[in-house]
Amino acid sequence: MRTLTVCGLLFFAAAFSISAQNSALSGSSTNSTSPASASQKQSDIYVRPDAKTREKRYISSIFGPFSLGKDVALAGYNTWRNSPEEWGPTWKGFGRRVASNFGQSAIKNTVQFGLDEVLKEDSQFYRSKDKSVSARIGNALISPVTARTVDGKRTIGIPRIVGTYSSAIIARETWYPDRYSWKDGMKSGTISLAFTAGFNLIKEFIWK
């Protein structure tokens, strides 16, 4: 229940932020004397990456050194915890966990990339342009459940949400031990989104 509550809070924060941002944009366009200048200001804030850049990001999200390192590190941690216990705290179990993490990453990022392309959205994390502490914290927390449209506006991040949950559920329903089910996948997906929010905070304030 705690993990589901965290997810609910993230969704609420995302919806509130999107609503507030759209209201602000609407108000600014009403007060603006030049629609062209407003459009130029929006383009200065966000420029959608070209197709080649998006493809490179997709490949890196699965085969990049950071992604592979994360798969290995998480496998090592879960081997130490012996989770799932059916795979055992051995090198063989470690190998199965690495393969499992890689499989989930491939599914998640493929689904996310495909939906980003179809919906013309961008699920990539971008640091806040507003350097106030509250704005940077808010940006980090809502980014896992939001995406950017072609013109840079925030919207509910369907690609990342669907990718995260579908990969976790598929793993639990296919290659995980029989005692796991889609419910465990839902919990895992929620935890993953929460961890992403936490990692975004590191990107905002520490890791440049």
**pLDDT by residue (tens digit) across 177-202?**
999 999 999 999 999 999 999 999 99
Say how many domains are in the chain: 1
- Note whether residue 112 is domain-resident: yes
Q: What confidence score (pLDDT) does residue 28 get?
A: 39
- Note whether residue 31 is domain-resident: no
Got the DSSP string for 95-152? HHHHHHHHHHHHHHHHHHHHHHHHHT-B------SS-SHHHHHHHHHHGGGEEE-TTS
Residue 66 has pLDDT above 90, yes or no: yes
- pTM of this structure: 0.79
Q: Give me the phi and psi of 90, to 5 degrees please.
A: -120, 175
Computed over every residue of the chain, the mean pLDDT equals: 85
Q: What confidence score (pLDDT) does residue 144 get?
A: 96
- The angle at the Cα of 146, spanning 106 to 103, to the nearest 5 degrees, equals 10
Residue 1 has pLDDT above 70, yes or no: no
Q: How far is CA 54 from CA 61, 63, 73, 117, 119, in A?
A: 11, 14, 26, 9, 14
Categorize the per-residue pLDDT at 24 as very low, low, confident or very high, splitting at 50, 70 and 90.
Answer: very low
Q: What integer is the mean pLDDT of 158-187? A: 98
Q: What confidence score (pLDDT) does residue 45 get?
A: 77
- Note whether residue 42 is domain-resident: no
What range does the domain containing 117 cover?
A: 2-17+51-205
- Note whether residue 26 is domain-resident: no
